[in-house]
Chain A
Amino acid sequence: MSVRLTEGAVEALFKGVEVNNPMLQLLSIRQIGAPSASPRFRLMMSDGQHSLSSVILATQLNYLIEQNLLVPNCVCLLKKIIINTLADGRHVVIVMDLEILQSAEETGGKIGNPTPCSADGKNSSPKKVSSSTSVSASPPSAAVPGTSYSSSNTAFSASGGRGRGFTGKAPVNASPMKASPMKASPMKASPMKASPMKASPMKASPMKASPMKTSPMKASPMKASPMKASPMKANSASPAKAMSIANLNPYQSKWTIRARVTNKSNIRTWSNSRGEGKLFSFEIVDESGEIKITAFNNEVDKFFSLVEQGKVYYISKATLKAANKQYTTLKHEYEMTLHANSSIVPCDDIQGVPTLNCDFVPIAELENRDKDAIIDLIGVCKSAEDVSRITTKSSREVSKRELSLIDTTGKVVTVTLWGDEAEKFDSSGQPVVAIKGARLSDFGGRSLSALFSSTVMVNPDIPEAFRLRAWYDKEGYALDSQSLTETRSSVSGSRMNWKMLSDVKSESMGHGEKADYFSCIATVVYIRKENCLYQACPSADCNKKVIDQQNGLYRCEKCNRDFPNFKYRLLLSANLADFGDNQWVTCFQETAEVLLGHSAEALGQLRDTDEDAFDEVFQKATFRTHIFKNRAKLETYNDECRVKVTVLEVLPVNHREYSRRLLSNIHKLAS
C-alpha cells in the first residue's frame, strides 16, 4: 500500500468530530432511496482500524459511482465533509468532495482489519450469534467478514428471517448490499436517516431493539439485512422516528406520526353557497395525545377505505391548522387536513399505541358537570329499552335506544344511542359499555346522548372495563341504585322538567314558538263540575263533539255521519295550586279519569241519576296532591292571547323521590 489511511479518523467521525482531509478506504457502496428518485449512495469507509457505514455521498458526486470511478477498495481523500447529527445522537457524514488517490486495483484489497464502529464498542453479533464461535472469539465481527456474515445472517434469519442474500463469501463489499434498498428521501434532508434502518428492525419487532440500534452502524452485513427485508421497501414515505401527536404544529413540515384511529366518521356531503363537497374525518391517538384529521373531496376517495377504526397507521405530510373547536371535542390545539401528498401507511408494530384515550367520569359526578359538556363514560349496561323510531322535527325518522348504565359509584344514568348504533347495540349479558364524547344533558335530570362523533365501545379491551365487570358481577348487579335520569320512574318521552307553578308566569312559559313542557307537584283546589262532560262521537279514535239532532240521532261532522248513541268524554277545567301560585289547567279524558277516579261513562250515568254522588266524586278529588306533567302554550282565542296549560299525565307523588329532590335543591341553594 502506498497510501496511508488516516487511522483514528473513522472513530472520530463516528463520534461527530470533524477530521480534516482524512484518507479512507472505500469498503462498500450501497444505493439507497426510491428507485424513482435520484439515487443516493451510502458508503462504508475504513481507516484500517474501524469502518464507518454512515457515510453518504453528496448527489453531485454520484457520477463517480455511476462511472465506476469510485469502487470498493479504492482509497479516497475526503476533501470536504459535513457531519450531521441525528435526533438520537448518531452522526452521519456527508461527503461533499473527495479525491480518489488510489484505485481499487492498485490497492489490492481491504487495508487492515477494520472493525465497525459502534456506540458500545462491542459488536452485537456476539449477542445475537451465540452459536458462532468465530464471531464471539474475534473482536468485532468484521475481522472475519465471511463468517460474520453468515453468522449474522443466521442470527437474522433465526430471529426474523430478515437476513437474506448473504452468501457470506466476499468481504463486506459484496453486491447484495448494494442491492438492498434504502430510503432516499430522508437522506436528502440533512440528518441522515440511519433511522429508517433503525426504525424498521425496531418496529418490525423480531429484532431486539438495542443491538439493532447499534448494529446498522457497525457491521455492514447486519446492516444490510434489516434494510433489505424492511417492509419499507415499498413505500416512499419512510417512517422516520415517529413524532408525538402532542408536538405536532403547523410550523414543522417534516414529521411522521404513528397512531391508532379511534373514531372514524362516515362520509358526509355538504352543499352551501360556496359549493359542495364531501368529507370524512377521523381521530387518532398515540401515547402523547389525540388529534383530529379530516379529508376532503379527492382525499376522501383515496383514504376512506384505507383508514379503519382501531388500526394503527403511520401518517405524514398533512396540513396542520388551528382546531375548529366547534367541530371537535378533542383537546388538541391543531387539527390535520389530508392533501394529495399525504401518506397513510398501515403500521404493524402497535407497541405502546393506546387503544383509546378516555377520561372517564364517574356517574355520580355527572351531576356536577355542566349541561352540554362532552364527556367520556364507562359503565355496565344494566338494561336497555328496545329500539324505537322517532320522527324528528325535521321530519327525519331516526332510531333511538336508551340504555341504563351503572358504575362503581352505584349511580345509574340513561344514555341514548341514535341511528345505526342504536340498532346494532346488543344489550344481552349486561355488557360493559364505554362511550367517548357523549354529550351530557339535563334531560330528565342528567342523561347522556351519543353524538355523531361519539365512539361507543361494547366490552372494550381496557382495564377499566375489566374492573367494572368484576365489580358488577360481585356486587353491582344487586344494587338498587338511584338513577340520575328521573324518567326511569315514569313514561319516558315526556320530559321531567320540574318547575313550580309560579314559574309558569315568571318564565313566560309557552310564549316561545314551541310549547313548554314541565312537571310539577301541585294540589287540586277546584274542579269545575259544569261542562265537565261532553257527548262525543262513538266511533273509535274520533272524539269530536256530536250535535244532538233532537231526533235520537247525534251527528258527527268529522265522520260526516249520524249516530244513535254517543260516548261521554271528560274535559275538565281544574285549578291547581302549590305553595307559590295557582294555575288553571285543562284535563282531557285520560288524565281527568285519573283525577276523579271514575270513568267518563260512569260519571255520565251518575250525573243523570245521582246528583249527590256526582258531587261527591268531585269533592273527593279536591285537595289531593299529584305529580302533573303539563304543556304550556300561548294560544289565541278570539283575539285574546292566553297561556293555556294542558295536563298530559297525572302521577301519584313519590315522596321519597320528591324528598330527595327537595334536599338536593336545598343543598344547592345553600351552597
Chain B
Amino acid sequence: MAGILDVPKPRINCSMLSQHINRAVCFVGRVEKVHPTGKTFSVSDGEGNNATVELNEPLEEELSGIVEVIGMVSNKGAIMATTYDVLREDKGTPFDLELYNEAVKLIHDFPQHYPFEVAASG
C-alpha cells in the first residue's frame, strides 16, 4: 500500500483506462452493481461508461453512491483497488459527476498545465 501512495495517481475516467494499464490511477464513479461475493463491483463514470473494481478483501457493508477508488489498472482494464473512499452525499453540495468528468478530460487535454510528475521537494 505504501508503494502506491508515493506515486502520482492521475484521475481518469473509463475511456482512459486502456492507456493506464499497469499504472496507478484514481477513479471516481458511482457504484452500480456489487457482486454477491462482495469482492468486486462495477462503477459508472460521468460519461455513463462502466468499469469493474476488484478488491483484496470482500466488502463488509453495502456500498452505494459515489466512491473514489485508488488502485492499479489490470491488463483486462479492471481496477485492482488498494483503497477506496465513499463521498458523503448527505452533507454539502452534491457531487456533480458530469462536471467532474469534464474536469478530468481537461486535465488530460492539457498535460502541459497539469503535470503528473512527482513534485520535487524544495
Interface residues in chain A, defined as those with a beta carbon under 8 Å from any beta carbon in chain B:
654-656, 659-660, 663, 666, 670
Contact = CB atoms under 8 A, between A and B. Distances in A.
B16 interface: no
B84 to A, nearest CB: 23
B7 interface: no
A666 B112 CA distance: 14
B103 A655 contact: no
Given A663-B102, A663-B106, A670-B109, 11 more contacts: A654-B93, A655-B93, A656-B93, A656-B96, A659-B102, A659-B103, A660-B99, A663-B103, A666-B106, A666-B110, A670-B110
A323 B93 CA distance: 54
Contacts of A659: 96, 99, 102-103
A626 to B, nearest CB: 15
Nearest to A663: B102
Contacts of B102: 659, 663
Query: Closest 8 interchain pairs by CB?
Result: A659-B99, A663-B102, A656-B96, A656-B99, A655-B93, A666-B106, A656-B93, A663-B106
A315 B119 CA distance: 78
Contacts of A656: 93, 96, 99
Interface string B91-122: 00100100100110010011000000000000
User: Dominant SS at the B interface?
Assistant: helix
B1 to A, nearest CB: 30
A50 B54 CA distance: 100
Interface residues of B, number: 8
B104 to A, nearest CB: 11
A628 to B, nearest CB: 20
B105 to A, nearest CB: 9
A518 B72 CA distance: 46
Contacts of B96: 656, 659
A670 B113 CA distance: 12
Interface string B40-72: 000000000000000000000000000000000
A671 to B, nearest CB: 12
A115 B106 CA distance: 84
A666 B103 CA distance: 11
Contacts of B109: 670
A15 to B, nearest CB: 73
Contacts of A663: 99, 102-103, 106
A654 B106 CA distance: 20
A660 B98 CA distance: 11
Nearest to A653: B93
A575 B93 CA distance: 28
A654 B93 CA distance: 9
Residue among A654, A659, A660, A670 facing the most chain B CB atoms (10 A cut-off) = A659
A429 to B, nearest CB: 32
A656 B110 CA distance: 21
Interface in B76-101: 93, 96, 99
Contacts of B99: 656, 659-660, 663
A666 B93 CA distance: 23
Contacts of B93: 654-656
A670 B103 CA distance: 14
A654 B96 CA distance: 12
B101 to A, nearest CB: 11
Contacts of A654: 93
Nearest to B99: A659
A307 B110 CA distance: 61
Nearest to B96: A656
A346 to B, nearest CB: 57
